[in-house]
């Protein structure tokens, strides 16, 4: 959720910090701040600037004083309202130590009471402020040792950066259940919550693991584990381009990323050609599959359930990651698939650890090389979608869905559940889906027209059946995430079990339909809605003439084999949500109260 960055080198530190934090704005935040060490009158000063609101309002007023070391933070309020006092970085009583922290300190109340009894004075309502005070309590000239002693007392999920006025040559950072990545350049070091913050400065990264402490200096970066042993792990080269994290002339990141989907889908398909040869044999031996994920990834998993049962013949269930730990024990020959766009979703990581504890074989599907989930799982498949900045997922969703098609059909072919012809048909269908998406994006005027009509709604229902039921859930989520219209996604067959009571002339219904075995039943459901005076928008394939008997509001998508229709439909629905939100003047890339990477449970 929150973003943290750190820099040490020959550049103006504040320039690097401001630029890097701007690239983390997609994570969501309500206040920001910076701490740097500057030389003044022959001595070092620790300068802290922080305020509620967005970075730009504060950055323009900050004087650059030639600092070569600093840390920055964007905060998403948990403990205490978003104001200047509660914003990060937080400082020690004597003003020599500054800390920027992501996560939650579970035992902060106990620690605060203990430190207060020793004379420490706290100014904020945050849990984070205990960290610099605790470091100060243990500091005796060695910042790394003070941090090591402090983290022994902390409970919860946390990643933080610490600087000390008297040590302008180092940043000490620690990770425990919250993402932190190190970057290195010639004579400079970087730290951030996400590689996208640092792509303009380096492509060489080291992902910290739980219990690791790093000391960042200009001449090198050293990492120690929980036992104090030096960590010697390979640095990874990330091939994302800096321009991939720019708007490139688009009004918002989200619309840019929607339009990038033909390329990102192709990259997922091309990457699979090497992935499928390296699949572990254990995948083929699975007798049942459990897919665990959150939010948009959960919807991709729901679609995957239909695909694994269709192509692989394997009974599949889908669970929300936050509920997985409460479920009954999984069978030992089950495959647990964990889907997470960022690879840092706290609930999904916790589910991965629980699955491993239960003896399950775990497979991660993520977009981020070296992310936590990729290190927790037994095997990882990467989406290769490129960086996604908009909070509302778009291109990573279609890549996740493609991965479900590819994995399910490959397992099914290897077990003999489907033959070679049907196996090839899946890849051909995905190539056709990419062409269909290109056509959807090539002419958006019809979508814009329907968005004009829908933008005044207060409530909406999205309906689908079979593989388009998850597409309806995802379409509904997109609408509520960025336009703030209350919407619900339902399997169309459930209309009679409650939702019909809510239909009236000002409650639009968006029905997703394809030419499969559910077609006639969907027509019946559309008729039910129209009979109750609800305006109905039908999303239907080109060439369909039946739907016009029920409504004159129709959005067409290119005809495609119905088994692959969710891909074309989902991109159409992403556009609809985007244009509705734009007409309503909403903050599309940074929806209120939401964050791109949910790193707390």
The Cα 556–Cα 445 span in angstroms is: 11
Give the single-character DSSP code of 312: I
What integer pLDDT is reported at residue 399 of this predicted model?
A: 98
Chain segment 148-159, per-residue pLDDT in tens: 999 999 998 899
pLDDT more than 90, % of the chain? 68
Bigger pLDDT: 291 vs 505: 291
Reading the block at residue 434, the tokens are: 């990419």
Chain segment 250-269, per-residue pLDDT in tens: 899 999 999 999 999 999 99
Reading the block at residue 193, the tokens are: 């919550």
pTM to 2 decimal places: 0.79
What integer pLDDT is reported at residue 498 of this predicted model?
A: 79
Q: How confident is the model at residue 330 (pLDDT cuts 50, 70, 90)?
A: low
Q: Is the pLDDT of residue 597 over 70?
A: no
What integer pLDDT is reported at residue 30 of this predicted model?
A: 79
The DSSP secondary structure of 437-467, one letter per residue, reads HHHHHH--HHHHHHHHHHTT-SEEEEEE-TT
Reading the block at residue 522, the tokens are: 């969907």
Reading the block at residue 532, the tokens are: 């109750």
For the chain, the average pLDDT equals 91
Q: Is the pLDDT of residue 581 over 80?
A: yes
What integer pLDDT is reported at residue 499 of this predicted model?
A: 76
Query: How many angstroms separate the first and last alpha carbons of the chain?
Result: 11
pLDDT more than 70, % of the chain? 96
Reading the block at residue 41, the tokens are: 């009158």
Strand 236-237: give its sheet, edge to edge: 43-52, 31-40, 69-75, 3-8, 188-192, 181-185, 204-207, 236-237
Domains of the chain by start residue, with CATH: 3-244 (3.60.20.10), 249-442 (3.40.50.10490), 443-586 (3.40.50.10490)
Q: How confident is the model at residue 41 (pLDDT cuts 50, 70, 90)?
A: confident
What integer pLDDT is reported at residue 497 of this predicted model?
A: 81
Residue numbers annotated as active site: 2, 596
Of these ranges, 19-23, 27-31, 54-58, the one predicted with the greatest mean pLDDT is 19-23
Q: Which string of b and e fits 380-419 if b means at least 16 CB within 10 Å?
A: bbbbbbbbbbbbbbbbbbbbbbbbbbbbbbbbbbbeebbe
What integer pLDDT is reported at residue 294 of this predicted model?
A: 95
Q: Which of 173-177, 278-282, 388-392, 436-440 has the lowest mean pLDDT?
A: 388-392
Q: Is the pLDDT of residue 243 over 80?
A: no
In sign, the C-alpha dihedral spanning 566, 348, 336, 378 is: positive
Find the mean pLDDT for residues 179-206: 91
């Amino acid at each position: 959720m929150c973003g943290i960055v750190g820099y040490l080198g020959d550049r103006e530190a504040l320039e690097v910090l401001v630029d890097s934090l701007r690239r983390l704005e997609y994570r969501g935040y309500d206040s920001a701040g910076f701490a740097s060490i500057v030389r003044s009158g022959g001595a070092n000063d620790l300068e802290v600037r922080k305020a509620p609101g967005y970075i730009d309002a504060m950055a323009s007023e900050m004087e650059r004083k030639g600092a070569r070391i600093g840390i920055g933070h964007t905060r998403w309020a948990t403990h205490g309202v978003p104001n200047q006092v509660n914003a990060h970085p937080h400082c020690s009583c004597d003003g020599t130590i500054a800390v920027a922290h992501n996560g939650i300190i579970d035992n902060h109340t106990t620690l605060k009471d203990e430190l207060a009894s020793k004379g420490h004075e706290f100014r904020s309502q945050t849990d984070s402020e205990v960290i610099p005070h605790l470091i100060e309590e243990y500091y005796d000239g060695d910042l790394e040792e003070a941090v090591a002693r402090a983290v022994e007392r902390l409970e919860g999920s946390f990643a933080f950066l610490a600087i000390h006025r008297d040590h302008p040559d180092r940043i000490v950072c620690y990770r425990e259940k919250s993402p932190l990545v190190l970057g290195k350049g010639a004579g400079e070091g970087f730290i951030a919550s996400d590689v996208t913050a640092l792509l303009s400065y380096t492509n060489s990264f080291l992902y910290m693991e739980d219990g690791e402490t790093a000391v960042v200096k200009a001449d090198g970066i050293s990492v120690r584990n929980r036992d104090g042993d030096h960590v010697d792990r390979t640095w990874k080269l990330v091939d994302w381009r800096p321009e991939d994290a720019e708007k490139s002339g688009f009004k918002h990141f989200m619309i840019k990323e929607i339009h990038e989907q033909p390329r990102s889908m192709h990259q997922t398909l091309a990457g699979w050609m090497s992935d499928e040869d390296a699949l572990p044999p254990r995948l083929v031996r699975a007798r049942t599959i459990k897919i665990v994920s959150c939010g948009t990834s959960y919807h991709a998993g729901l679609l995957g359930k239909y695909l694994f049962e269709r192509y692989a013949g394997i009974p599949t269930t889908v669970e929300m990651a936050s509920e997985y730990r409460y479920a009954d024990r999984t069978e030992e020959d089950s495959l647990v698939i964990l889907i997470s766009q960022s690879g840092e979703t706290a609930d999904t990581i916790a589910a991965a650890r629980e699955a491993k504890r239960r003896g399950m074989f775990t497979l991660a599907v993520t977009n981020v090389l070296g992310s936590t989930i990729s290190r927790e799982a037994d095997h990882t498949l990467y989406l290769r979608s490129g960086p996604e900045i908009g909070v509302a997922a778009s291109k990573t969703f279609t890549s996740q869905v493609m991965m479900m098609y590819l994995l399910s059909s490959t397992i099914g072919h290897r077990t003999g559940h489907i033959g070679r012809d049907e196996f090839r048909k899946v890849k051909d269908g995905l190539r056709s889906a990419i062409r269909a998406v290109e056509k959807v994006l090539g002419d958006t005027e019809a979508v814009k027209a329907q968005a004009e009509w829908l933008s005044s709604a207060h409530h909406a229902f999205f309906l689908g059946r079979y593989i388009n039921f998850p597409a309806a859930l995802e379409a509904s989520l997109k609408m509520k995430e960025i336009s703030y219209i209350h919407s619900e996604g339902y399997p169309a067959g459930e209309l009679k079990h409650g939702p019909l009571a809510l239909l009236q002339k000002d409650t639009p219904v968006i029905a997703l339909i394809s030419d499969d075995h559910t077609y006639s039943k969907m027509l019946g459901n559309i008729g039910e809605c129209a009979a109750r005076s609800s305006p109905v928008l039908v999303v239907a394939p080109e060439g369909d003439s039946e739907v016009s008997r029920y409504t004159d509001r129709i959005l067409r998508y290119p005809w495609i084999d119905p088994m692959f229709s969710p891909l074309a439909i989902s991109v159409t629905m992403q556009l609809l949500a985007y244009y509705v939100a734009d007409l309503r003047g909403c903050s599309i890339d940074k929806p209120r109260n939401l964050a791109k990477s949910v790193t707390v449970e």
